[in-house]
Amino acid sequence: MLRFLTPYLFVAPLVLFMAVFTYGPILMSLDLSVRDWDFLSPEMPFVGLDNYRGLLASREFWNSLQVTTVFAVLSVPIRLVLALGIATWLVREALPSRLLRGALFLPSVTSTVSIAVVFSWLFSTDYGAVNALLVGLGLGRQPWLQDPALALWVLILVNTWKQLGYDIVIYIAALQAVPQELYDAAAVDGGRRLHVFRRVTLPLVMPTTYFLLVISVIEAFQVFTIVNVMTNGGPAGATDMLVSLLYRVGFVLFDIGRGSALAVLLFVFLVTLAIVKSRIIGRRVHYEA
């Protein structure tokens, strides 16, 4: 009997942890999304789908969805292309490569709040280092975080700088797993470097690219701290992400029902997006060398 129960006892702590901290809150959010509650009232009347209807009729929701989508569409490809290019350069086991890997990975384990505060100072209009450099070059100051056309690009730059090191490390592990015999065979056949990269390297790191694509898109749709510290959703809603709207509705306006409805919509949207990516891109990924 004990032998039969042993594997279940090993996984029981993890299952209990996920039940309490993952599945429990999901079920609670589903319940709260159909209720009207302000955090303080002892009553939570059932309102059906009114919170969802209110969100879908809200201009703020559609603006946040558009801004978040643009952020993901622009930032994810930039991250993946840069990470693969730099990983290809740093894949060799030499001391300078190892030092650079550590330096590039450092932002991934640095406090996001600290990074956002430092970049807020760098891109400050009046006393920022970036504008000081532009003035030194004879160019004018730019309102980086006050111009709706520039603020989103600054956030993309900061988010890319923070997350790039993680993507590079994952790509380096994938590149090191490519059999050297394939490169030797390509060299014997006279393959050029770009041709070998396109025909050998790129297909063999596709599983890693697919993995990074999935988690990068999820991360892009959940970005919050950088936005909250650097722009707080402004100027004029140009950087108002979905999670920023969720925080404002749920924890500033204390409309827990509508905030929970937004969390459920975001969850459904990400799951749908993951399924679409799996159907379109997942089928083209080959796991055999």
| Whole-model pTM over 0.85 | yes
* Both tokens assigned to 123: 């891109």
Peptide bond into 42 cis (omega under 30): no
Report pLDDT digits (tens) over 29-49: 999 999 998 888 888 899 989
DSSP string, 179-244: -HHHHHHHHHTT--HHHHIIIIIHHHTHHHHHHHHHHHHHHHHT--HHHHHHTTT-STTTT--HHH
| Amino acid identity, position 99 | L
Q: Tell me, what amino acid is at 196?
A: V
Give the model's confidence band at 289: pLDDT under 50 very low, under 70 low, under 90 confident, else very high: low
- pLDDT classification of 73: cutoffs 50, 70, 90: very high
Structure tokens at 77: 């490809």
DSSP for 60-88, written as a single string: HHHHHHHHHHHHHHHHHHHHHHHHHHHHH
What residue ranges define each of the domains in the chain, with the CATH number in brackets? 52-178+204-282 (1.10.3720.10)
d(CA 159, CA 226): 7
Number of H helices, E strands in the chain: 15, 0
Q: What is the pLDDT of residues 104-140, one digit of tens each?
A: 999 999 999 999 999 999 999 888 899 999 999 988 8
Question: Which of 30, 9, 16 is closest to 267 using CA atoms?
Answer: 30
Fill in the DSSP letter of residue 46: B
Question: Could you tell me how many residues make up the chain?
Answer: 289
Cβ count within 10 A of residue 227: 26
**In the block, residue with structure tokens 């919170």:** 51
Q: Are the beta carbons of 248 and 63 closer than 8 angstroms?
A: no
- One-letter amino acid for residue 231 of the chain: T
- Cis peptide preceding 235, ω within 30 of 0: yes
Helix (H, G, I), strand (E, B) or coil at 275: helix
As a whole number of angstroms, the distance between CA 151 and CA 45 comes to: 40
Give the pLDDT of residue 188.
83
What lies within 8 Å, CB to CB, of 175 at 6+ separation is 87, 88, 91, 201, 205
Which amino acid is present at 51? Answer: N
Contact in structure between 249 and 263 (CB atoms under 8 Å): no
Q: How far apart are CA 241 and CA 233, in angstroms?
A: 7
From residue 90, alpha-carbon distances to 6, 93, 149, 150, 161 in Å are: 44, 8, 34, 32, 17
Per-residue pLDDT reduced to its tens digit, 144-195: 999 988 999 999 999 999 999 999 999 999 999 888 888 888 888 877 888 8
